[in-house]
Chains A and B, each alone.
Chain A
Amino acid sequence: MTISGLGPHGERAAPPERVSLLPDDRTAAKSAGWRVAVVLHTLESDWAKQQLAGMMGIFGDCGAAVIDVVDCAFSPEMQVAELDRLISQRPDAILSLPVANEQVAAAHRRVSEAGITLVLLDNAPTGLLPGKDYTALVSSDNFGLGKIAAAGLSPHIPDGAKVGVLGFAADFFATNEREIAFNKWLQVNRPDILPRIHRFARIEDAATAADDLLSANPDLAGLFVVWDTPALAAATRLAERGATMAMATVDLGEAAAIALAQGDSFCCIAAQQPFLQGIAAAQTVILCLLGRPVPAWIALPGIGVTRDNVVESFQTIWRQPAPREVLRMMGLSRGK
């Protein structure tokens, strides 16, 4: 599957195979005994848990000790404070998902200035440069995810109808790419559809934002939300208002998979591969610490998930069986 987006500085994507570890690499890493820290936006989501699971396996195989896993709770202030705290602990590498743009750029720069290898996940604050301020960015093809969502939603939208786009107000590379790509796909392939954009600043505000969007546009025929947790909150609020519409989002979390299998509102989910992304990120760290050159941007393709392929997609992405509720709704399990 090809990568349709470009990196934060216009880079072409390198595939995750480019950072594969050879047996010699693992042996060399084991004898080094590195200390690594992980700084994530949240530890609550299924996505974050799978990322960590992917990373931990590789770090374990390579004898690297993960000395801290930080939950920033989406707070730029907390992330800045935590990065400064970690710098004082002098790990060999930090894997970080910057939760904002300008507010956290300087703190990330301080990590690399302290001589600590910095690998970014999903987001590169504007102005930070690979090779200078960070080593590499590992992310999904977020532009591709936006396109998948638009293509999946399109068949459910009548000619000339309005579609709501619920974006993330924070300036964040991944969600910006999804929103831009979703709109571009519509502009090119369904110019009859009228997008109506509204943004939420915090997950807790997503339901209210959906409310506002619907109040301003009572004739909405569909909705795209830039990731699954706020999408589920928006879907619940819309259902409470008695408004059902075709919805698309990004990330096949457990609850989103159930909602997709239910078939009431979600018609398409553009799924990331967080487990594989975690593996690629950890491998990138190991290669950097071994002094091997790595690409500036390593990207993983997204997977288009509909009700028809939700079970096998769940297994592919999460490396575990689909939730029993999903299996039951799909008629594959008869137990309670």
Chain B
Amino acid sequence: MNGRSPALIPFETHKDAALPLNGSDLSESSRPRGKGRPRTVETAAPSLVELLNLVRTGAANTRQELERQSEFGRAVVADRLTMLGDLGLVDESELGAATGGRAPRLVRFAARRAAILVATLDQTAIGVGVADLSGKLLTEHHEAADLTAPPAELSERLTALFRWSMERHAPQGSIWGISLSVPGAVQGATEGDFLTATPPVLPAWEGFPLVETLSRDFGVPVWMRSSVETMTMGELHAGAGIGARSMLFLKVGRRIGAGIVCDGQLYRGAHGAAGLIGSLPVNSGGRSGPLDTLAGSDMIQREGLSAAQDGRSPMLADIQRRGGEITAIEVSQAAQIGDPASVAILTESGHLIGQVVATLANALNPELIVLSGSIVQTNDILLAALREAVYGSSHPFVTRDLRIIRSQMGSSAGLVGAARVASEQLFAPAFLKEWVMQGSPLAHPAFTALKDRFSQTASPPPPPRARTGQELPR
């Protein structure tokens, strides 16, 4: 960070940092008591967690429904709702529809109690957004960026865009977390935990403390997932995959990766590296190599350039003659408006990806396959070729009701998915029970310990641990 960077936000100035309940110091409640019966505040946490999550997920929205679903008594539900209301986590101001007697008060999750900052870092673009606590995006912005630029530059740009977004959509500064989507498998991101150090994601970022910088500057916990994982989460919760129990999500760019949804949940694998299909070997026209190399956007760009130069594509040659750059996007757009050479390139790519996807489809029997990535967005030919390959190479049972569609969310899928990652982690029962009594995750004992560590460390924060293991491109 250079001298123009905004000053660090002192943790003490965060209005959420230690919100006392009814004026009492409840931070004590996380300490074990030596003897005697547990105090009410100590026993309240599990019921608060359960009731809050019933409200948050929409499973119950009246006191009667909460009593029925939780099997807590009326007095307990009333007491806990008062506590959650005092903490600003639920709202009971709205009346529901009367069904004979008095209209019931609706119990709503106070999703606007705080906000989540989200960002996607891609090979060629950076996206930022602000989401509410339910994971709903309130605003988003995308701009071109070069991921090979020095990480300090990217970090500075990210910080500037976060500050701008906060100013517009979270003027009170009540931010509860940052969630990042990055173009690589994220190791060390276990469920329910925020990151305390930057995991190895890209070689160019080695040694740069991105997580530490953001966590320190904004005073909030940071989560990170691969772009395929966040996009899959976004598609599952806000895109074509709403309600899907089994889904395959495919991202086609320089790398080709898959997101796998089983029983309505994202499957991450043992190390967060599930779905790395781009490294699978394929054969094409006597050549063999990884799917990334033979069907990814680098291949499309390379073949497009070649077609422009050897006269096969007058349309691409014309773009070049006018000084335009030929990327995979230009080839895709040329294919879409009928350039034969470009159509052939995209068809080849679609067939190769389809062969690999057919194998996955036969193994997993998904109800839905969603194709995403900038090439897919500008082009229907790749989708058609992939469909042809999957339908032609799969068992009839697998394709009987299978839908293969293009994502409509663009890069928003990554931002929405990143927001869902943070909201699910913030309210995961094991994490929530540690902060719910204080009313803010910024008072979570593990996070306060991290803040203490930062406050004892001279700026800049320490570099992350040395990279181990192989890079897992996605």
Contact = CB atoms under 8 A, between A and B. Distances in A.
Contact of A10 (B238, B380, B410): B410
Chain B, interface residues (CB within 8 Å), range: 35 or more
A132 interface: yes
B337 A18 contact: yes
Contact of B412 (A14, A129, A176): A129
Interface string B366-408: 0000000010011010000000000000000000000000101
Main secondary structure on A side of the interface with B: loop
Contacts of B239: 129
Interface string A8-29: 1111101100100000000000
B136 A10 contact: no
Q: Which of A6, A130, A184, A191 has the most CB of B within 10 A?
A: A6
Interface string A218-249: 00000000000000000000000000000000
A181 B157 CA distance: 12
B314 to A, nearest CB: 15
B333 A10 contact: no
Nearest to B120: A10
Nearest to B329: A12
Interface in B100-149: 120, 122, 125, 127, 129, 136-144
Contact of B333 (A11, A14, A127): A14
B411 interface: yes
A127 B136 contact: yes
Interface of A: 2, 4-12, 14-15, 18, 101-102, 126-127, 129-132, 143, 171, 176-177, 180-181, 183-184, 187, 191, 293, 295-296
B448 to A, nearest CB: 33
Nearest to A169: B168
Main secondary structure on B side of the interface with A: mixed
B161 A9 contact: no
Nearest to A20: B337
B408 A126 contact: no
Contacts of B72: none
B142 A9 contact: yes
B411 A191 contact: no
Interface string B243-256: 00000000000000
B142 A6 contact: yes
6 contacts: A10-B122, A10-B414, A11-B411, A143-B143, A171-B139, A176-B141
Contacts of A15: 333
Interface in B302-352: 324, 329, 333, 336-337
A175 to B, nearest CB: 11
Given A12-B329, A12-B374, 10 more contacts: A7-B142, A9-B140, A15-B333, A126-B139, A129-B239, A131-B408, A143-B143, A180-B141, A180-B143, A184-B143
